[in-house]
A and B are shown apart, each in its own frame.
Chain A
Amino acid sequence: MRGRRTPLRRVWSALFNGYGLLFLAFLYLPLGLIVVYSFNANPINMAVWTGFTLDWYATIFRGASVEGNFDAAFTESPERIFAVVRNSFAVALLAAGLSTVIGTATALALARFRFVGRRFYQALLLLPMLVPDIVLGIALLIFFVGAGIELGLLTIVIGHVTFLSSYVFVVVSARLAGMDTTLEQASADLGAGPITTFRRITLPQIMPGVVGGFLLAFIISLDDVVITYFIAGVGSQTLPLFVLAMMRRGLRPQITALAVLILLFSFAVASIGLFLRSRKP
C-alpha cells in the first residue's frame, strides 16, 4: 500500500474488500445453492430442507431402482443420460481436436510468415467469435438443409469447428507472440529442415498454448447450446440440449444433481486449462 494509512484510507480499503467479497458471493452463491439443493430429500420444493439424500445422484446412475424418491414422469433413464453424454464427448473431442490442428496451423502461418492478405485473415478469424450465436446457428441450419446434409453429430462437429478454430487461434497466437525466435533460427542455421525445427523447437515451446487451446475448445463445445440447438438432428441430442429439454419440462431434483456433476467436470477441466495458460512462455 502506498501512502499513509490514514483512517479514511482504512475505511476505503475495508469498503473495497467488502464489495469484492459481495462480488464473489454474487458469482458463487447461485452455484452453491444448486449443490446444496442436490442433497435435499424434499422432492416437491427444493427450497425447503427436509433431510440429506443421495437419491438424486442415484437416479442418474441407477434410475428406477432407487426406492421412494422416484418420479418416473420427470426422471430420465441412465441409458438415455449415458447416450447423450457419449454424444457430447464424441462431438467435443472431435471438434476440439480438429479446431486445435486448424487453429494452430493458422496461428503459425500468421506469426511466422509475412504475406498479402495477412491482415484480412487476422480480421476474418475474429468474426466467428463476434457473430451472435443465433445468427451462426440459423445460417448453418439453412446451409446444411439446403446442401442436403443430414443433421446429426457430423453437422454439430462441423458447426463447432467453424468458431472453435478461432478460439484456439487466439490462444496459440498469444503463446507464439511471447516466444523467442532465436532458437528456431539457430535450428535452421544448423541445417534442420522446417519439419524438424517445428517438431523439436517450436512445438515444445507452444505446447502449453496448444493444450490450453484444446481444453478451451473442448469445454466450449461441451457446453454449447445455441448453435447445437439449431443443427442437431432428431437422434443426435447432446448433454446441453438434454438439460435444456429437462428444464423445459419443469425443475426437478434430478436436474439439480446432474447440474452438480456437470459443474464439477467443467471446473476440473477449466482449472487444468487456466493453470496451463498461466505458465509463462
Chain B
Amino acid sequence: MKGDTVRTRQRNTLLLLLAPVTLILAAFFMVPLGIVVVYSFLEPGLYGGVEWTWYPFNYGRILGWPLNDYEEFDPIYLLIFLNSLKFALLTVLFSLLICYPAAFWVSRMRAGRKGLVLFLITLPFFTSFLIRIYAWLLLLRPTGFINTTLQTAGLIAEPLDMLFSGFAVVLGMVYIFTPFMFLPIYANVEKLDHSLIRASQDLGANPVQTFLRVILPLTAPGIAAGSVIVFIPALGNFIVPSFLGGSKVQMTGNVIERSFLQSRDWPFGAALALLVMASVVLVLMVHAVRSGRSRDRVVA
C-alpha cells in the first residue's frame, strides 16, 4: 500500500514538473510550426490573408512549377536562396578559420589568464546584436572609420565601396557568430589528448602530418558542432543583410520578412521559411548521423 502511494505521489510530481513546458511547447511552438506548414500550401488571398484551397504553387514560384497562364517562373527566389546558402557557408568557413587557431592560443594559457580571455571572448555573445552591426556600419560606410582613416593617411583618393556588398554581409555575420564557433572548438581543443600528439612526433611525423592525421581528426567534433550552430542562424538571417547588404545583397530572410510585413503574401513567406527550415533539418540530421558514427568508431 505504502509503495503505491509513494509511486502515485512521484508520478504526480513528475506530471506537475512537466506540465508547464509541455503546454508552452505544444501551444506556442509545435502548433505554430504546424500552421506554417499548412499555410505554405494555401492560396494567398487578394488583400492579404489566405484562401483555404490547396495551392502548391507557393513552392512552384520558388522551385520552378508556376501556376500555368497566370504566373511566370522567376528564378530570382531560387537564386537568392542559393546566395543565402553561399553566404552562410562562407560565414562558417571564415569564422572557423578565425576561431580554430584562437582556440589553441587560449588552451595553452595558464589558468588565471585563460579564465579572463575566455570571459572576454564570451562577452560579445551577450551584448546587443544590433549594436554590433551598428559598429560595422560605422566602420565600413563611405564616410566611416576605415575610409576616413585611409583618406586622411593619403592611401586612397576616393572612399572604398565596402558597405552594401556580400563582403560586408559575410564580415558582419562572422563578427556576430564568432563566439558560437569559438566555444565548441575550444571545448574540444581543451580536451585534446596531448600524449597522442607527442606519440605522433616521436614516431617521426612532421608537424603537417601530425596536424592532418592527429590534431584535425581529434578536433573534428568541435568543428562540426561550431559549424552547425553558426550555419543555422546565418542562413535565415535578415537583419545583417538589411543593414550591411542594403538593397544590393538580399538573403532569403529579407524576402520572408517582406512577404510577411509588406506584400502580405503569407503563404509564400511560409513556403520560403520552410525551405530554410528544411535545410536546417537536413544539416542537423547529417550532423547527428555523422557524430553518432564517429562515437561508434571511438568505442570500437
Of B54-62, B71-79, B209-217, B234-242, which binds chain A? B234-242
Name B's A-contacting residues (CB within 8 A).
9-10, 13-14, 16-18, 20-21, 24-25, 28-29, 31-33, 35-36, 39, 98, 101-102, 104-106, 108, 115, 117, 119-132, 134-139, 141, 143-145, 147-149, 175, 178, 194, 232-233, 235-239, 243, 253, 256-257, 260-261, 266, 269-270, 273-274, 276-277, 280, 284
Name B269's contact: one of A33, A138, A159, A266 (CB within 8 Å): A138
Which residues of A have CB within 8 Å of B134? Answer: 34, 243, 247, 251, 255-256, 259
Name B21's contact: one of A26, A102, A138 (CB within 8 Å): A102
Instruction: Tell me the smallest distance from the CB of B158 to a CB of chain A, in Å.
Output: 16
**Complex: A135 Cα to B29 Cα, angstroms:** 11
Chain A binding surface, main DSSP class: helix
Please name 16 further chain A to chain B contacts, defined as beta carbons within 8 Å, in addition to the given A142-B39, A266-B126, sorted by A numbering. A23-B98, A27-B120, A34-B134, A132-B236, A134-B236, A135-B277, A136-B29, A138-B256, A138-B269, A138-B273, A165-B25, A223-B129, A251-B137, A267-B126, A270-B123, A274-B122
**Complex: A120 Cα to B53 Cα, angstroms:** 34
Question: B21–A106 contact, CB under 8 A?
Answer: yes
Chain B binding surface, main DSSP class: helix
Say whether A81 faces chain B, with CB atoms less than 8 Å apart. Answer: no
Name A's B-contacting residues (CB within 8 A).
2, 16-17, 19-20, 23-24, 26-28, 30-31, 33-34, 37, 45-48, 101-103, 105-106, 108-109, 113, 115, 121, 124-125, 127-128, 130-136, 138-143, 146, 158-159, 161-162, 165, 169, 194, 216, 219, 223, 225-226, 230, 240, 243-244, 247, 251, 255-256, 259, 262-263, 266-267, 269-271, 273-274, 278
Which residues of A have CB within 8 Å of B232? Answer: 130, 132
**Complex: A128 Cα to B137 Cα, angstroms:** 30
